[in-house]
Amino acid sequence: MKASLQLKLGQQLTMTPQLQQAIRLLQLSTLELQQEIQQALDANPLLEQEDEFNQQESITELSSSLSNEQQAAESAQNTSEASSGQANEEYEQGNDLSISEQIPDELVVDSNWDDIYTHSPTSHGISSDEDWQQDQGSTGDGLQERLLWQLNLTPMSERDLLIAHSIMDGIDDSGYLRESLEDILTDLNHRQTADEEPYDLDELEAVLKLIQQFDPPGVAARDLRECLLLQLELVAASDCQQLACLLVDQHLAALGSKDYPNLLRQLGIREQQLKEAIELIQSLKPKPGADFSADKEEYILPDVVVYKDKKTNHWRVELNPEVAPKIRINTSYASLAKGQSDGQYFKDQLQEARWLIKSIESRNETLLKVASKIVERQIDFFKQGIEFMKPMVLADIASDIDMHESTISRVTNQKFMHTPRGLFELKYFFSSHVSTTGGGEASSTAIRAMIKKLISEENSRKPLSDAKLTKLLESKGIVVARRTVAKYRESMNIAPSNERKSLT
């Protein structure tokens, strides 16, 4: 083979560490960004946090505006407002960025690098009308700790104590005993030595009955029937209590399918008696251990705040001042970077500090642009409610602000917006569309809201079937298949019509 030289021209994208940092910060959640900044403050002596002496005052004022706007939004839920064309003219965005330096061109974070720093998606909307922090869990001791505490206060032999620990090891977080007594018995006897007396099933049954008297009521049950019966045993004896026990013990399947006519016929009881017994059963807890979850509290801090300015009557979009601490370069330490020999360390730290500040500014600017366009396009939602949500995809916002769809996806992931109508992830405002008979388009989110409203207004004795919901939507000009209605209903955790039936 003959060796030869060839000249070849081509383009190749080289990602600098600074550009990678900007992209990574762009899609960090609020809490992740706060942790990132705190780590930088701890590691870089040239970075310091600004004193925000006016921050609390601005937060209080903004919170008051949101609270007032919440009341106005609720009272105007069913009223018609100005057309979207006029709304877009009166739209105005606010910008609360504090960094004055300009981002250089090479730090543009808009790109199509979908394989870099991916995050798992989160849920869409979280209803919250007043608080900026949403409690997602409960605190306190877990179920096992609570059971052990009660066990330590219960006098029993060493043999029974060993049985109790084995049984409690098989209780899950819901409060149910998931291991059979036979399996527990086999395990206990396997650990016995030849000279020790083997355990028998009666011993395990006796200890289980004792544990089932512990708090919470219904704990250590082996199925739903036993769980409910254990709780009903603590209810004062009455005709209603006896009927509830009978229903749970022998007719739980019919009760679950809400086959009320058949129950009335089989038991020969009046409708009012059945209603009272069902109300008693519904007051019980099918998962007695759920209240003792040891999960930690999780908080959601909105990145963006949307409110209506009463003075100008314009909708404003601002970055939440609590999203991340404002940082700046320490001028005293920065002066040390001017040295010729011993100042190299400070020069490196100064460069890193500058890039971090520029990356945060870039993130804030992009986030504000995207949020502002979302509000502009969905202005009817903010004015009139979820049923007026418009179809919108990532490409719509990308086209408006001249960025790539992948950038919009990064910005909207795990970023939240506090509005007079609640707290929502930015992704919540994006949805597919369904064509209407009038030639327009309806958002799938709005259709879900319509379905939910129709179901909330239905006759509980004769709930609306999916087919009936399809016809009602068609009468409003929205043509969707019955299976689509069923899919939307299930996505909202709404039971089918036969399970929504009640006696009231």
What pLDDT does residue 118 have? 38
Number of neighbouring beta carbons within 10 Å of residue 497:
19
Residue 435, classified by CB atoms within 10 Å of its CB into exposed (0-12), middle (13-18) or buried (19+), is middle
Q: What is the pLDDT, as a whole number, of residue 332?
A: 77
Tell me the residue length of the chain: 504
Q: What is the pLDDT of residue 137?
A: 37
Q: Supply the pLDDT for residue 341.
A: 57
pLDDT higher than 70, residue 293: no
pLDDT tier, 44 (very low <50, low <70, confident <90, very high otherwise) = confident
**Of 437, 435, 429, which Cα lies nearest the Cα of 386?**
429
pLDDT at 12: 54
| Burial call 67-106: b when 16+ CB within 10 Å, e when fewer | eebbeebeeeeeeeeeebeebeeebebbeeeebeeebeee
Q: Per residue in 212-266, pLDDT tens?
A: 999 999 999 999 999 999 999 999 999 999 999 999 999 999 888 888 889 999 9
Rounded to an integer, the average pLDDT of 305-329 is 88
Distance CA 231, CA 245 (A): 10
What pLDDT shows up at residue 498?
Answer: 82
Q: What is the pLDDT of residues 367-380, one digit of tens each?
A: 999 999 999 999 99
Q: In the chain, pLDDT over 70 holds for what percent of residues?
A: 74
The yes-or-no verdict on residue 205 having pLDDT over 70 is yes
pLDDT(322) > 70? yes
Confidence band, pLDDT 50/70/90 cuts, at residue 298: low
Tell me the two tokens of residue 140: 């306190």
pLDDT at 299 over 90: no
Domain 433-500 annotated CATH 1.10.10.60: yes
* Distance set, CA 307 to CA 71, 194, 315, 381 (Å): 12, 76, 6, 13
Considering only residues 105 and 439, tell me which one the structure prediction assigns the higher pLDDT: 439
For residue 52, pLDDT over 60 is answered with no
Q: What is the pLDDT of residue 478?
A: 85
pLDDT greater than 60 at residue 30: yes
Tokens of 131: 């608080």
Residue 353 — very low, low, confident or very high, per pLDDT cuts 50/70/90? confident
Give the Cα separation of 167 and 151 in Å (integer).
Answer: 12
Q: What is the 3-state secondary structure (H, E, C) of 407-457?
A: HHHHHHCCCEEEECCEEEEHHHHCECEEEECCCCEEEHHHHHHHHHHHHHC
The answer, yes or no, to whether residue 117 has pLDDT greater than 70, is no
Q: Which residues contact 171 (CB under 8 A, 6 or more apart)?
A: 143, 144, 147, 177, 178, 219, 220, 289
122-131, 149-158, 350-359, 450-459: segment of lowest average pLDDT: 122-131
- The pLDDT assigned to 8 comes to 66
Give yes or no for a contact between 405 and 102, defined as CB atoms under 8 angstroms apart: no
Q: How confident is the model at residue 131 (pLDDT cuts 50, 70, 90)?
A: very low
The pLDDT value recorded for residue 1 is: 57
Average pLDDT over residues 476-498: 88
pLDDT at 342: 58
Please tell me the distance from the alpha carbon of residue 113 to that of residue 407, in angstroms, as a whole number: 9
CA–CA dist 274, 145 (Å, integer) = 38
Query: Would you list the domain boundaries of the chain?
Result: 17-113+129-134+300-386+398-403+416-425, 143-292, 433-500
- Ranking 122-126, 153-157, 238-242, 480-484 by mean pLDDT, the lowest is 122-126
In tens, the pLDDT along 406-419 reads 889 888 988 999 99
pLDDT at 163: 94
State the pLDDT at residue 105: 47
Q: Is the pLDDT of residue 278 over 50?
A: yes
Measured CA distances, 124 to 27, 282, 414 (Å): 16, 30, 9
pLDDT digits (tens, 9 = 90+) for 374-399: 999 999 999 998 888 888 989 999 99
CA atoms within 13 A on the CB side of 497: 16
Pairing of strands 125-126, 422-425: antiparallel
Mean of pLDDT values over 116-127: 39
3-state secondary structure of 265: helix
pLDDT given for residue 15 in this prediction: 57
Instruction: Let me know: does 217 contact 204? Beta carbons within 8 Å.
Output: no
Residue 113 pLDDT exceeds 70 = no
pLDDT value at residue 128: 38
The pLDDT of residue 476: 85
Q: Flag whether the pTM goes above 0.85.
A: no
Query: How far separated are the first and last CA of the chain, in Å rounded?
Result: 91
pLDDT averaged over every residue in the chain: 79
